Structure 1
Amino acid sequence: MDFSYQMYSARNEASLDQTLKTLASLGYKQVEGWGGQFADPSALAQSLKSAGLTMPTAHMGYAQLEDTDAALRIVDQVGIQTVYCPAPPSEDFRTGGGDWAGFAQGLAKIAAAFKAAGKGFGYHNHHWEFGKDASGKTPIEIILDASPDLQWEMDLAWVVKAGEDPIAWMSKLGSRITAVHVKDIAAAGQNADEDGWADVGHGTLDWKTLLADAKSKTQAQYFVLEHDKPSDAIRFARRSMETLNGYGV
């Protein structure tokens, strides 16, 4: 299994080129991009090539994706195969006031354009997508119901943060899950300076078992390591890869 690294985890590193080369030296073959990296797609593509890495997946914000033609040009220049919208477009969705059905229709329209271009498109969850509406539907279901072309990148740790069972969701919607964010949650009261996240294998989630479940219950092609606020992005990359290599997956 080739693990990827979400570059948002390294957003505070001084040198992109050096970071990519370091990730390659640690055994990474792939990285996942994020919206702030795409100001110069050609330069990004060259940096990836120089490091011997590929970027098969990426995050682009909804506002960026609304100019779908421009987003697809970036995808082509960098060599991206699948893009995931990382979050809803405004704070309203995070506080219970967002129009999830309307947002889902917007995502479905983008998915159709990506499919026509031979690319994949989907959505990445946080914890906001699991509160039920009056009909008993969760936002993640509303999104995926909007189009069969919409994929799901399951951020498993955020599913747990939402108080949900990720295995149950894998069993229910595994055919729509094409990527998994491999992220760990620190024990209660630990890593407060890192917002309670942990390096993979140094937190509370049983990732050896979870990876086996993801492989058997979903269509996930990409397993992307992420830490939302690491105090040391390279330490996170190194220790997490060491853990995963120890699992023999």
Structure 2
Amino acid sequence: MPNKLKLGLIGIVEEEAKRDFWCTMGRVAGIGYRGIEGAEQLLEGNAEENVARFHSLGLQVLTCSASRELLREDLEGVIFRARQLHTNRVTIWWAPCDSAESIREDIELYNTAGTKLAAEGIKLCYHNHDHEFRNAFGGVTAMDLLAAGTDPAALFFELDIAWITYGGEDPARMLRKYAGRVPAIHVKDLHGLENQEHPFTTVGTGIVKLREAISTAADIGTEWMVVEQDQLRNLTAFETITASYLNLKEAGLI
């Protein structure tokens, strides 16, 4: 693997962060994480001072969250919050993709909003789940419709390798397919494909082809891999992020 991806984190320690944000972030940085997605707590109070303190821990804000409604109704507010957080990405975390018509409407929105964000130096990213690969219209998956219909300069993808696996696709193949449009990936693991409510496990302890996916992401120029686990399994939050870090390190992936 020619390059190694930078390591970020989303979720997992959110309850701990609610109780003591700065202590939690210090512990996260101490483990070896260098970026956080979902750090909107920094906007509370003096955002500039908060972000500077965040940076002093060795952490970056990797993205600013946005819904489709916010992109339509308050794009300037989205841009303002991204600027406050010193991040160059805005991410949409979910869309239903339940009909070809709804996807066409979303494509129009993403092209319009993404073009405006790009003019500000900000990448609009779409984060997948499994339904984008399961839902197909005219033999074309929702994910392929989104990719084909959007301007590559306006919409990028934050591919989740576990949800791709859960959706019946191969993560490395999808990464190669969307090469050039994947600034970050979500790295998480599944202990199986049968349990639809709680299939997740600590990174490196499940069935997701992590090495192949992460190596492919590095090959296509992805910058960040972000550890995520939708539900805890047998470990506590800090045990989970520590074990995930160590498993990736032991595998030579960080």
> Shorter-normalised TM-score: what interval?
0.7 to 0.9
Equivalent-residue separation in structure 2 for 1:119 and 1:32 (angstroms): 15
Equivalent-residue separation in structure 1 for 2:101 and 2:243 (angstroms): 38
Contact 2:97–2:103, Cα closer than 8 Å, also in 1: no
Equivalent-residue separation in structure 1 for 2:84 and 2:244 (angstroms): 30
1:70 to 65, 77, 94: 77
Identify which of structures 1 and 2 has the higher relative contact order when contacts are C-alpha pairs closer than 8 Å and 6+ apart. Answer: 2
Matched residue pairs, number? 239
Structure 2: which 5+ runs fail to align? none
Matched, 1:154 2:159: yes
Matched, 1:243 2:252: no
Matched, 1:140 2:126: no
Residue in structure 1 matched with residue 180 of structure 2 by the alignment:
175
Residue in structure 2 matched with residue 229 of structure 1 by the alignment:
231
Structure 1 residue 47: Cα displacement: 5.2
What is the identity percentage for the equivalent residue pairs of Structure 1 and Structure 2?
Answer: 23
Structure 1: which 5+ runs fail to align? none
Matched, 1:85 2:98: no
Letter matched to residue 198 of structure 2: D
Structure 1 residue 188: Cα displacement: 5.8
Letter matched to residue 85 of structure 1: I
2:58 to 42, 52, 56: 52
- After superposition, the CA RMSD in angstroms is 2.4
2:106 to 96, 103, 106: 103
TM-score (norm 1): 0.86
Equivalent-residue separation in structure 2 for 1:9 and 1:142 (angstroms): 31
Structure 1 residue 37: Cα displacement: 4.2
TM-score (norm 2): 0.84
Contact 1:57–1:84, Cα closer than 8 Å, also in 2: yes
Contact 2:100–2:137, Cα closer than 8 Å, also in 1: no
Equivalent-residue separation in structure 1 for 2:193 and 2:127 (angstroms): 25
Q: Describe the SS at the equivalent of 2:12.
A: helix
Q: Describe the SS at the equivalent of 1:177.
A: coil
Distance 1:94 1:189, change over 3 A: same
